[in-house]
Structure 1
Amino acid sequence: MFTGIVTDVGRVRAVRDTNRDRRFEIETAFDVGTIDIGASINHAGCCLTVVEKGRDWFAVEVSGETLGLTTLDQWAEGRRVNLERAARVGDELGGHIVSGHVDGLGEVLSVQSEGGSHRVRVRAPRPLHRFIAPKGSITVEGVSLTVNEVEDDVFGVNLIPHTWDVTTLGELKAGSRVNLEIDMLARYLARFQETA
């Protein structure tokens, strides 16, 4: 489990295809010595397993299914990536409960400055849009955000300067594809209503 609070922006240092899968090496400011092989780390919203590590990097392997359902198929050497280590019992829950399982790809429609902040409008894929509610939570590229408004399949979020500066969201522009994870509570509530 994660909280959607990014704690490092890593950089892809190497990409290699392995049969149908892909391997990424990620440079990080994390203390790699404290990361176990098999540990889960959230990468731009995707929970991936550490399979190898070096002094200032670790490697993850990604299946063809994950490549087809997320933005990871676009990753190349040099790409910056939002990172979050798994939450531990007793950690502050600064964002919301995030599983690291991407529900779909959104498309950024616009990015506009509003004072020191930025308002970003994103089109969510159908039927995922049903789970997005004003003042609810959503994860965009691994970042926990509050939904400001929803109109049909388009939602808006406001990025304060800190979030803009310390995550990769400051690189968004119209046409960008983004990993989306809906609020876990909304998912289970909707499923309960479908089966009740």
Structure 2
Amino acid sequence: MAKQLDYHTLREIFTRFQAAEPEPKGELDHVNAYTLVVAVALSAQATDAGVNKATHELFKIADTPQKILDLGEERLIEHIKTIGLYRNKAKNVIKLSRILVEDYGGEVPNSRAALQSLPGVGRKTANVVLNMWWRYPAQAVDTHIFRVGNRSGICPGKDVDAVERAIEDNIPVDFQQHAHHWLILHGRYHCKARKPLCGSCLIRDLCMYEDKNL
């Protein structure tokens, strides 16, 4: 695990990220807050592309909690059966949809605690929804961010909670809104797990990765 980079280095890193991609976007397709919750819940141990393929037709016919309940679990499974753990995910989507209808009038709550109380919704999912839909600077730490943060020194930490705190505590506040998207995209397309593309890396001269010159 690399040491935490200093303030000036972090500002330069995110200035470069911002210049390259001023408005980074999440890659999960959705049409409202509810479909975003469902898409993120389905994305656990699955690719965004795989989830988008499965939800493309689903969200055309069921884009609210009540419509999902009307669809029913078995018909929901038919739409998402290409996604890993689809049976358990279908049960959670039905359960969370029922809670949203019964306890929240069919609306998605915008507090982290309320979101995390929904079946299949953990802290990462809640943070994605808060960030992408309500534009709150919540940091959703996934495997890409955990790897990039520790490898580079941008936001090192022994677990995802520590990495989340490192982002919130050390990255300048004017970059907080998009920080997790920049880091996810950097990890997904450049700072890859097995063969990082250090030769073409935007922040190679600032990164603390010991093997970047090999």
TM-score (norm 2): 0.26
Largest Rg, 1 or 2: 2
Larger strand share, 1 or 2? 1
Larger helix share, 1 or 2? 2
TM-score (norm 1): 0.28
